[in-house]
Amino acid sequence: MEVPVSPTSAPRALRDVVFVDGVRTPFGKAGEKGIHAGTRADDLVVKCVRELLRRNPSLPPERIDDVAIAATTQTGDQGMTIGRTAALLAGLPRSVPGFAIDRMCAGAMTAVTTTAGGIAFGAYDVVVAGGVEHMGNHPMGQGADPNPRFASERLVDPAALNMGNTAENLHDRFPAITKERADAYAAASQAKLAAAYQDGKIQPDLVPVTGRKPGEGWSLHSADEPPRPGTTREDLAGLRTPFRAHGRVTAGNAAGLNDGATASLLASAEAAAELGLPVKMRLVSYAFAGVEPEVMGIGPVPATEKALKMAGLDIADIGLLEINEAFAVQVLSFLDHYGIADDDPRVNRYGGAIAVGHPLAASGVRLMTQLARQFEDDPTVRYGLTTMCIGLGMGGTVIWENPRHADYSGRSPQGVAATAAVPAAASAGEDHA
């Protein structure tokens, strides 16, 4: 007897998900002297959402189906279901919902992958996904209460609760990654970011932010605060090792404590074509993986293995790599695993978090925005990836395809040429609050 199949039983074809645009605020140093000291976290997100709409005028705000914003410390001005509050504060129609996400450093990355799944399935056409971290207002771990079973039952090494200690552990596991090598990598990151600024590669995606400090009045911030151009290996050699006596991790070869926000527009390929939105990248695959929490920095390796397998690709197929530089040793352990040289030109062409900063949950979209800009610069590269380690022993990786490549496999590359016509807010020196 033949069993009838209802229409809902038929397999649903997944849709292509494309990265339309990404922006971020300048990243600031956390603390009372930082550029964002007097600015609320939710207002930083609002700046980014409004800028996305300004840059993409063909998108009716009511066509945004959801707003996913990540924050690691979800309290105060980073609480209140920040995706929804940011949507309301940005002036989106009240019909546009929103939600909050926490996957520590991979918050914005998870905001992208989570909403991308909804787009692929057909639940969404267009979404905003991003993240924010105001580490000046909310220091890492503020209000956290780790379960005592972690220690009493030896479920997690106590070192896993301090990111600097996990980086020292990674040095222990891979003794070939010396402090000298980490310092050399860090100095190179500073030099690459300085060159990218000189060539105008960073500024087009920065949203100028006004800030006010007591006794100083208002000022406009249109550049990142953490970079130290001209840093040399010799400058870094004498820095103290705060996590371990005679250790290898310093403030110079690790990302700092930072404030900042990011936001991106994702869409189905069909919606992008319908609305005349640019297509900067196509999502190919993504994966998250867990590792021992005490060596969380190795997390990008198994995550990348999973993402490559799902995409049917090999690391040799990846022409550009954006690896979050939480610590130099974490990046170097990834490169060593794949036999990639420390100075391989495919890696972090515009510099990384050691130079530009790492406002935790915001950083995932910063990686994607920089990769999209590099795709525009180099149409000979077909595939790129964004990857990062995550606290408590995880890693996340997203693989993207360049729509400018001759063999682009996406079904709807319309709008590619439109990106060149978008004016840069930073170059215009405008504040779009």
Q: Give the pLDDT of residue 158.
A: 81
Nearest Cα to Cα of residue 93 among 71, 125, 67: 67
pTM comes to 0.92
What are the start-end ranges of the E strands in 196-300? 209-213, 217-221, 258-268, 281-290
pLDDT in tens, 137-191: 998 888 888 888 988 888 888 877 789 999 999 999 999 999 999 999 999 999 9
Q: What is the mean pLDDT of each run of 10 residues along the chain (433 residues)?
A: 51 89 98 93 98 98 98 94 98 98 97 98 98 94 85 82 92 98 98 98 97 79 96 96 95 97 98 98 98 96 98 98 98 98 98 98 98 97 98 96 95 43 37 33
Q: Give the pLDDT of residue 349.
A: 98
CA–CA distance, 254 with 406 (Å, rounded to integer):
38
Q: Give the pLDDT of residue 412.
A: 44
Q: Give the pLDDT of residue 13.
A: 84
Q: Give the pLDDT of residue 7.
A: 54
Catalytic status, residue 48: no
Catalytic residue among 48, 105, 134, 171: 105
Nearest Cα to Cα of residue 71 among 4, 162, 143: 143
Q: Give the pLDDT of residue 378.
A: 97
Catalytic status, residue 358: yes
Contacts (Cβ under 8 Å, ≥6 apart) of 122: 12, 15
Q: Give the pLDDT of residue 187.
A: 98
DSSP character string of 284-305: EEEEEEE--GGGGGGTHHHHHH
Contacts (Cβ under 8 Å, ≥6 apart) of 394: 103, 104, 106, 288, 289, 290, 291, 296, 299, 303
Q: If you count them, how many residues does the chain have?
A: 433
SS3 state at 221:
strand
Could you give phi then psi for residue 206, rounded to 5 degrees? -95, 135
Catalytic residue among 36, 138, 358, 405: 358
Catalytic residue among 134, 221, 389, 405: 389
Contact 185, 331 (CB under 8 A): yes
Strand pairing class (383-390; 394-401): antiparallel
Buried b (16+ CB within 10 A) or exposed e, 4-25: eeeeeeeeeeebbbbbbbbbbb
Q: Give the pLDDT of residue 421.
A: 36
Catalytic status, residue 105: yes
Could you give phi then psi for residue 395, rounded to 5 degrees? -145, 155
Strand-pairing partners, residue 69, are: 100, 130
